[in-house]
Chain A
Amino acid sequence: MSRGPDSPHDRRVLADRVLERTGVDVARCYQCGKCSAGCPLAADMDFPPSQIMHLLQLADFPEFAELALRSHTIWLCLTCELCFCRCPMELDIPKLMDALRYESRAQKKVNPKARDIIAFHRAFLDSVRYTGRLFEMGQVVDYKLRSGHFLQDMLQAPWMFFAGKLHLLPERVRDRRLLKRMFAKTLKAKESRP
């Protein structure tokens, strides 16, 4: 049975695990709402950032922490760093969002609405794993296959190709073996964990 840092068998409450991993202490948030007021995507989120903080503060009710892990918010957060910049308590909310994303994936609680966003991230990293660099043409094709949105961006591709922006062949890093080892010990290791 796995007891790694993202393990569902870690019995501590989510707020404590987050504090240990990111140094962000949600208890210090006094719900002023400045983060949500400035967040460019607050209106699109199921819980704006200050509410995510609140959900984690209610440690006696694990079902609230669960809502944060299953939220669309954590995947919509753009890491624009505006909330962190304005928070009077200097709470690093984007870093907390990263930690919630890792836990949400590890516990298989990813919000279904985040499917496209994650498909895009996966396609991106696949390109990096094989070539060491982002191969934009390859990535767009890979994302289309993963997300099922075939036509959406293919319409842009011919123009980009003619403007000399898209290459047909990837640029590659020389030491690709090292890159593969790095992926094997990080992302891949976690994804293959039971």
Chain B
Amino acid sequence: MKTGFYPGCSMKGSAREYSESLLAVARLLGRELPEVPDWNCCGATAAHNLDRDLALALPARILAAAEKAGMDEVLVPCAACYSRLSVTRHELLEDDALRARISGLIEADYRGTARVINILEWLAGVDGLEGLIKTPFARKVACYYGCLLVRPAGIVKFDRPEEPQSMDRLMKRIGAEPLDWAFKTECCGAGFSVSRTDLVARLSGLILEDAVSRGAEAVIVACPMCHLNLDLRRPNIEKSSHKKIAIPVIYVTQAIGLALGIAPKKLGLQRHKVAVKFAAAPSSGTLKDADPSAGISKSGEV
């Protein structure tokens, strides 16, 4: 079984700590994750809002490249990219004429042999995680799945569309206490982060307020877009909800990395807008080798 890795654009830029933490965890687990050769952007919301063929052709080129490289499955950690790749594979496998037309556009024969998997599926398949834990991640967490990991259910065929459990189970495996809360799969405002920041601030604010009111110490995410909206947009959220919200937002791979004893800096925790004031165990206080309040949050007030 050869698993390829599709980072997508944001994991090379604004969400690079997601990629850093995933690769650090994979290394420790002895899993290889070669990138899909010469991958391109999946087109995201922009492409499917403006042109159907382009919205299918961009992901199809990625999947065709993975097939050509002999990959049986492609790990797509960004939930938004995961959705575009899954929808494309589904539509092209259902309609031969469409598949032929899109194959023409990408100048390659797309056959659909490589499966598309998300980060939670990949992590669920990791055996022996429990045995490698150095410091249990003993924190109360709100597992935030967002929309696209679990919907549309008929296409992604993953977990439950409204009350999913896979991330909660994963958090239990590393010693965390996942909370019951109401916003697991509510939308954060997705791709409107730049064009309609007002809407993102409102929707993301509701998510964070519920997590805080349930006593969560961290929100765990599995998508760069969700992270961007809940973390980087925090000043906008606080302005819109008229209150200070200090809860950090951590990638699922960062939480696991901390439990596995990987240094916070290697997991990119210092790159967050909202300071992550703990390492793994509740008693450990602030991060020593990567205090995020040094420099970063100060320059954030520019």
Q: Is there contact, CB below 8 Å, between A128 and B41?
A: yes
- Nearest-CB residue, chain A, relative to B16: A165
- Which residues in A have their C-beta under 8 angstroms from that of B45? 79, 121
- Nearest-CB residue, chain B, relative to A132: B40
- Which residues in B have their C-beta under 8 angstroms from that of A125? 43, 46-47, 50, 54
Q: Is there contact, CB below 8 Å, between B151 and A78?
A: no
Map CB proximity to A onto B191-225 as digits: 1 under 8 Å, 0 otherwise: 11011110100010000000000000000000000
Q: Is there contact, CB below 8 Å, between A85 and B194?
A: no
- Nearest-CB residue, chain A, relative to B236: A156
**At the interface, is chain A mostly helix, strand, loop or mixed?**
helix
User: B132 → chain A, closest Cβ, in Å?
Assistant: 28
* In the complex, B12 has a CB within 8 A of chain A: yes
Q: Is there contact, CB below 8 Å, between A175 and B38?
A: yes
- Number of residues of chain B lying within 8 A (CB) of chain A: 59
Q: Is there contact, CB below 8 Å, between A78 and B191?
A: yes
Q: Is there contact, CB below 8 Å, between A182 and B187?
A: no
Task: Pick the residue among A80, A136, A160, A183 that contacts B9 (CB under 8 A).
Answer: A136
* In the complex, B232 has a CB within 8 A of chain A: yes
Those of B253-302 within 8 Å (CB) of chain A? 270-271, 273, 295-296, 299-300, 302
A121 vs B50: C-alpha distance when bound (angstroms): 8
- Nearest-CB residue, chain A, relative to B155: A81
User: B231 → chain A, closest Cβ, in Å?
Assistant: 11
* In the complex, B180 has a CB within 8 A of chain A: no
Q: Which of B41, B105, B161 has the most CB of A within 10 A?
A: B41
A121 vs B51: C-alpha distance when bound (angstroms): 11
* In the complex, B73 has a CB within 8 A of chain A: no
A interface bracket (residues with beta carbon within 8 Å of B): 35 or more
* In the complex, A63 has a CB within 8 A of chain B: no
A75 vs B196: C-alpha distance when bound (angstroms): 11
A122 vs B51: C-alpha distance when bound (angstroms): 11
Q: Is there contact, CB below 8 Å, between B106 and A182?
A: yes
Those of B15-36 within 8 Å (CB) of chain A? 15-16
User: A22 → chain B, closest Cβ, in Å?
Assistant: 9
Map CB proximity to B onto A44-86 as digits: 1 under 8 Å, 0 otherwise: 1000000000000000000000000000000110111110110
Map CB proximity to B onto A141-166 as digits: 1 under 8 Å, 0 otherwise: 00100010000110110111011111
Q: Is there contact, CB below 8 Å, between A158 and B302?
A: yes
- Which residues in B have their C-beta under 8 angstroms from that of A78? 147, 187, 189-192
Task: Pick the residue among A98, A117, A121, A133 that contacts B41 (CB under 8 A).
Answer: A133
* In the complex, B89 has a CB within 8 A of chain A: no
User: B178 → chain A, closest Cβ, in Å?
Assistant: 22
* In the complex, B58 has a CB within 8 A of chain A: yes
Q: Which of B9, B16, B55, B61 has the most CB of A within 10 A?
A: B9
- Which residues in A have their C-beta under 8 angstroms from that of B197? 152
Q: Which of A101, A117, A173 has the most CB of B within 10 A?
A: A117
Q: Is there contact, CB below 8 Å, between A160 and B14?
A: yes
Q: Footprint of A on B, CB under 8 Å?
A: 9-10, 12-16, 38-41, 43-55, 57-58, 61, 105-107, 147-148, 151-153, 161-162, 185-187, 189-192, 194-197, 199, 203, 232, 270-271, 273, 295-296, 299-300, 302
10 nearest A-B residue pairs (beta carbon): A81-B151, A134-B9, A120-B195, A121-B46, A80-B187, A124-B46, A186-B54, A80-B147, A132-B40, A159-B300
